[in-house]
A and B are shown apart, each in its own frame.
Chain A
Amino acid sequence: MIEIRGLHKSFGSLEVLKGVDLTLSKGKVLVIIGPSGSGKTTLLRCFNLLEVPDKGSLRLGDNSFEFHEHAKIPQKDILALRQNTGMVFQSFNLFPHMTALENVMEGQITVQKKSKDDARKRAEALLAKVGLADKADSYPHKLSGGQQQRVAIARAMAIEPEVLLFDEPTSALDPELVGEVLKVMKQLATEGMTMAIVTHEMKFAADVADHILLMDGGRIIEQGTPDEVLKNPRTARAIQFLNHLNGKAEDSSE
């Protein structure tokens, strides 16, 4: 359903993506891991063109794009693509001037042009699904980080995207709030939602991922099932990175 070929992206003279290929089929969960600065966020942001690649191609359902140095992508194609993707950010980015319910209604009303009643019904159902039916009328600053992130997930799902993109959705959370967000994400995975997730939560990754990508220096250096990538990495760089993560995990459990 998502197909990315030969993706390149530079910021000025810094080449961040150096030719990335990947395929994500409907109903599958893709987890992207890798050291800081390896280009995970940039890659994920190329999925919904928050970053426009310099070279390569991207296809998501009926939306296809070819990127070239000077070819400008029509704005209406970008908007169409974004209506088929939902994104959950590390820092939640809820709209602070709207209640939880209004946050979830916003895309439906402004983008999908649904009636307020229809939007409210769907928003209420989604808030219930993420366990926040009773917080519908709360403003974001009254909610805990975990609750805010669950509202953000409901907001992203509200426009009925074909794929949900998560960029380190639990990294900004206090440790005791991580579980409630992962639980919601896991539930979505079981229900067959297509997802691409950047995360450092290895246990979660091993648990829900159908496919794991390990990135380093703007390239995919290892990919496969969780077992293949996490248990039997082939490259020295991957082994080093995974050991480093395990080391960190052991440190924090002491």
Chain B
Amino acid sequence: MTDRQIQILLDSFWPLLKAGVLYTIPLTLITFALGLTLAIVTALVRLSSLKILKLIADFYVWVIRGTPLLVQLFIIFYGLPSVGITLDVYTSAVIGLSLSVGAYCSEIVRAAILSVQKGQWEAAFSLGMSRMQALRRIILPQAARVSVPPLGNAFISLVKDTSLVAIITFVDMFKKAQFIAAATYEPMIIYCEVAVIYLAFSTVLSVLQNYVEKRLERFTAT
């Protein structure tokens, strides 16, 4: 590496990290929180006996899981304005990513709820709990434990998937890298650098995920 390349590497580090901390991380957190809420609601609806809502939920999961996220983002950002719905790039990104997280994670949440033994529902019912009370107090806490590893994986995937929003002009960490690469003519260095920062983010999250799993293990059979 030449001195100039090393200089570019160092100069671009802070702008990239800043874009990551200011945009990529908040975007990840917000969309995961919204997506997870959507996922829980969707999972509960699909497990309920509410016929119409169930059809809607099934349709939503089917469409989102069956089409590329990139195409969904294009429809929201470039397509919707032509039918009179214009959303700014932030809103578009949040909606697109949340819908995607919601659909994928609803499967995780659903499987986790179904993995809780029937006897747990019955024990809760035998104490006089309603379905909602049983869910909130007995079933969801156990389902949460089961779903931490797969949800952790989904979260880490999301950190990486946020880079797709660069294509709808959202200036996240990856878009910033594209700007710098274009200005300096050093795509190899800049893209590797941004890859390393993504890697650092996901590694920190993996460690965090392990920690949470360990904490939750305290009430499980050995």
By a beta-carbon cutoff of 8 Å, the part of chain A in contact with chain B is: 48, 50, 75, 79-80, 82-83, 85-87, 89, 91, 93-98, 106-107, 110-111, 139-141, 155-156, 159
Contacts and interface: CB of A to CB of B under 8 A. Distances in A.
Interface string B88-101: 00000000000000
Residue of B119, B123, B130, B219 most packed against chain A (CB within 10 A): B123
Contact of B137 (A75, A86, A93, A110): A110
Interface string B102-144: 0000000000000001011011111111100100011001100
Contacts of A159: 127-128
A141 B123 contact: no
Contact of B123 (A80, A83, A85, A95): A95
A222 B148 CA distance: 53
A89 B222 contact: no
B125 to A, nearest CB: 6
By secondary structure, the B interface counts as helix
21 contacts: A50-B126, A75-B130, A79-B128, A80-B128, A82-B125, A82-B127, A83-B128, A89-B122, A91-B119, A93-B117, A93-B120, A93-B123, A95-B138, A96-B142, A106-B137, A106-B138, A107-B128, A107-B129, A139-B219, A140-B219, A141-B219
A106 B137 CA distance: 9
Nearest to A152: B123
A93 B134 CA distance: 13
B221 interface: yes
Residue of A85, A91, A110, A140 most packed against chain B (CB within 10 A): A110
B185 to A, nearest CB: 57
B142 A111 contact: no
A41 to B, nearest CB: 11
Nearest to A94: B123
A93 B128 contact: no
B220 interface: yes
Given A82-B126, A89-B119, A96-B220, 8 more contacts: A79-B128, A83-B128, A85-B126, A86-B126, A91-B119, A93-B119, A106-B137, A141-B222
Contacts of B138: 95, 106
B93 to A, nearest CB: 36
A95 B129 CA distance: 14
- 5 closest pairs, A vs B, by CB? A107-B127, A83-B128, A87-B126, A93-B123, A93-B119
A141 B221 contact: yes
A111 B119 contact: no
Nearest to B136: A110
A230 B218 CA distance: 47
Contacts of B125: 48, 50, 82
A144 to B, nearest CB: 13
B113 to A, nearest CB: 14
Contacts of A94: 123
A156 B120 CA distance: 14
Contact of A82 (B128, B219, B222): B128
Contacts of A79: 128-130
Interface in B31-88: none
Residue of A86, A95, A106 most packed against chain B (CB within 10 A): A95
A97 B141 contact: yes
